[in-house]
């Protein structure tokens, strides 16, 4: 099973998250608590007030999603450590406004049908230093400078958030940086910076 996953991971084939399932993942036993990092509680990677208000269980339970969330958590910790060094402050907070989303939650929040949130490979964030929210372009530059392995950064001005998407295979990360918004027909649109 591990060999099958390893061959897939490095095959170079372009696959969408929705085609990835537990049959190609090595048999792991990742627990939710394993997502805890020095500057993040595990629950931050899937907690959703929208899900809670609508009685949606958004708890990830598939191993491939938990494996992806482990990668996401690692990258977010790298970003946090970088920000602490840049600002010489322990008063850096990365607020994850959206992490993993089950299908039902993704539809409810009008997420993209191909959203990486559904596979645990995306977060929407705001960054505060000494209680001040950093401008989105400043955060974008820090993400790039921190050299985290992002696939896509989307600046969502209307929501005042940065979306960071990660690739299934970090070696295939596209390093795209774009503006993103929902048009009047409720379709996601992007524009390169």
pLDDT, tens digit, 9 for 90 and up, residues 136-145:
999 999 999 9
Specify the pTM: 0.84
pLDDT at 11 (0 to 100): 46
User: How is 1-69 classified by DSSP, letter by letter?
Assistant: -HHHHHHHHTS-----GGG--GGGS------GGGG-BTTB-GGGGT--HHHHHTT-------HHHHHHH
Residue whose C-alpha is closest to residue 124's, from 37, 38, 15, 48: 48
pLDDT at 27 (0 to 100): 66
pLDDT at 77 (0 to 100): 97
């940086």: which residue's tokens?
177
Asked if pLDDT for residue 80 goes beyond 70, the answer is: yes
Q: Are strands 132-133 and 152-156 parallel, antiparallel or unpaired?
A: unpaired
The domain ranges of the chain are: 2-192
**Residues recorded for the chain:** 193
Six token digits for residue 183:
């048009």
State the pLDDT confidence band at 193, using cuts at 50, 70 and 90: confident
Helix, strand, or coil here: 106? Answer: helix
State the pLDDT confidence band at 60, using cuts at 50, 70 and 90: very high
The C-alpha atoms of residue 31 and residue 37 are separated, in whole angstroms, by 13
Asked if pLDDT for residue 132 goes beyond 80, the answer is: yes
pLDDT at 39 (0 to 100): 95
Tens of pLDDT, residues 95-126: 999 999 999 999 999 888 999 999 999 999 99
H-run or E-run covering 73: helix 63-87
Six token digits for residue 134:
């950093």
Q: What percent of the chain has pLDDT over 70?
A: 86
Asked if pLDDT for residue 86 goes beyond 60, the answer is: yes
- Which overall architecture, per CATH, does domain 2-192 show? 2-Layer Sandwich (3.30)
pLDDT at 5 (0 to 100): 38
Average pLDDT for the chain? 87
Between helix 136-145 and helix 63-87 the angle, nearest 10°, is 100
């Amino acid at each position: 099973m591990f060999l099958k996953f390893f061959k897939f991971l490095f095959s170079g084939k372009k696959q969408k998250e929705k085609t990835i399932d537990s049959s190609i993942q090595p048999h792991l036993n990742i627990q939710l608590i394993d997502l805890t990092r020095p500057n993040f509680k595990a629950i931050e990677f899937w907690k959703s007030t929208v899900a809670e208000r609508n009685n949606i269980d958004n708890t990830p339970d598939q191993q491939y999603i938990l494996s992806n969330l482990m990668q996401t958590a690692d990258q977010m910790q790298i970003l946090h450590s970088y920000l602490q060094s840049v600002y010489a402050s322990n008063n850096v907070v990365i607020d994850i406004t959206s992490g993993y989303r089950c299908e039902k939650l993704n539809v409810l929040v009008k997420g993209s049908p191909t959203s990486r949130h559904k596979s645990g490979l995306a977060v929407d964030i705001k960054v505060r230093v000494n209680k001040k929210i950093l401008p989105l372009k400043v955060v974008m530059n820090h993400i790039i400078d921190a050299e985290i392995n992002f696939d896509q950064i989307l600046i969502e001005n209307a929501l005042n958030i940065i979306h960071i998407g990660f690739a299934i295979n970090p070696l295939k990360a596209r390093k795209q940086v774009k503006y993103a918004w929902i048009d009047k027909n409720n379709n996601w649109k992007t524009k390169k910076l």
